[in-house]
Structure 1
C-alpha cells in the first residue's frame, strides 16, 4: 500500500508466477520516475479484478496495473488513487487497513515478520542498485565538450560563467558580448536579487501566541558532530542567510541528519 505514489504497479515476476495470459497485456512505453531517481519504462498494462478481505465484508474492484520488469521484494503496489477510490484507511503502525463495505467495515492485517523481511530485502536491493549506478556514472559520465570561462565584469573577477568551446570563435565572441550586456540576469549571492518579497523565502514558526515556548534541554554532541554543526553555521552566516539572535527563554537543539553518502 503506497499512500504517496499514484501508480498501481505489478512486477513482471508476479505476472510470471500468476501465469497471466499474454493477450491480457496491453503494450505501453510510459516511463515511471522515482525508482532511485531513475526512469523505469513499463512493459505493459493489465486490468485485473482485485478482491480484498473475505465474504461478506469484502470489496472487488478492477485495477489497471502498470507492469514493470524491476527487482523488488514486493509483488504489487497499490497507489493512493486506488486506495482513495476504495475509501481505505491505513495504519502503518498496526499493519492494517480498513474500508467500508455493504456489510459494515472490512479490514486486512499484515504480517510483521513478512513486512520486516521485505523491508530488509528492499534495503539490500537499494544498496546494490546505488552501487551499480555509481559505477555506471563513472564509466559514462565523460565531458562531451570543453568549457571556456567568461569574465562578465572586469572590476569583479568572481563574476564569471562558462560557455561551450564547440562554437566557432566569432560565435563565442558575440556570445561573450551578449552575456556582458545582460549580466544583470545572473546572481552570485542573495544580495544580487533585490526587490523580492521576503514572504517568499522567510520561514516562520506557526506557533500560537497563547502557548509559552518550550525550553529544550541542551543536547551534547560528539566532537565530529560539533565540527559539522559549526561548519554549516559558518557557511550560512557568510552567505548572510542567518544571523545570531538571543532567546533567553527558548531553545531548540540542532537536528543532525546523516546524508546518503554518510556525511
Structure 2
C-alpha cells in the first residue's frame, strides 16, 4: 500500500450508475488471487505492466518507465515534498511528480484523464501503479475474481482484461518476462524490448538477457548455446579467479590498478 502523507477528505459514494448505465460483472469467475495488470497509454504511447492497486491513495510511475518517455513530457516534472507512507508506516520521498494524460480501453470504449503521478526510483516489476484516485476519477471497478476492470465511457461500458501471466517453463528454459506487442518505430513506450531466460537451473534468479526482436530460430540456437556453455559464467564469488594487480609488458611490470588523475585542490562531489 502506498499513500501520500497529507490530509484528504472522503468523498461521498455516489453509486455506479451516475453516468447512465450500471456496471455489472457476470456471475462466477475464477479463484485466482493474481493482481490485475492492464495496458494503458501515456499521451497515446502504449505502456504495459500497469498495476491496479485499490489500496493506494496516489498514482505512481516508476523511474525506469519515466525515463523512456519523450524528453518534452519529462520536462514537465516538478519537485515533490510530500513523503510516501508504506504499509509498515515507513516514509520515503518521491523524486518528482508529473501530470500525465492516461487513456485506458480500446476504441471506441476508451476513457481519458489527466492525473498527477509521483515518480519513484524503485526496482518494481510494474511500470505504473494506478490507485483509488484513478478509480474514482475514471469510474473504474476492479474485479480480481474476473481478472478485469470495467469503466464508464461516452459510448458505454468499457472492459479491459488483465494481462498478468505467471512464469512459464518451456524446454527447460524459464521465461520470466512475457513478450509484449511490438511497438512502432520511433515511438517512445514502456514496453520491454528484452527477454530474460534462465540458463542454469541452480541459479534461477540469475538470468541472461537477449533481444526480443531476434528471429525465433536464432533465439532458440542462442539459448542452446548459452545453456551448453553455462560453465563459463561466474555464478558465485568462488567462480571469480581474481584480477592480477601487475602484468608483464615487454619484460617490464605494468600496474593494472585504475587511478583517477585529479587535481589535489578539487574535492570529489557525489
What TM-score, normalized by structure 2, do the two folds share? 0.41
If asked which structure has higher relative contact order (CA below 8 Å, sep 6+), I would say 2
Q: Which has the larger radius of gyration?
A: 1
TM score, norm. by length of structure 1: 0.42
> Counting helix residues as a fraction of each chain, which structure ranks higher?
1
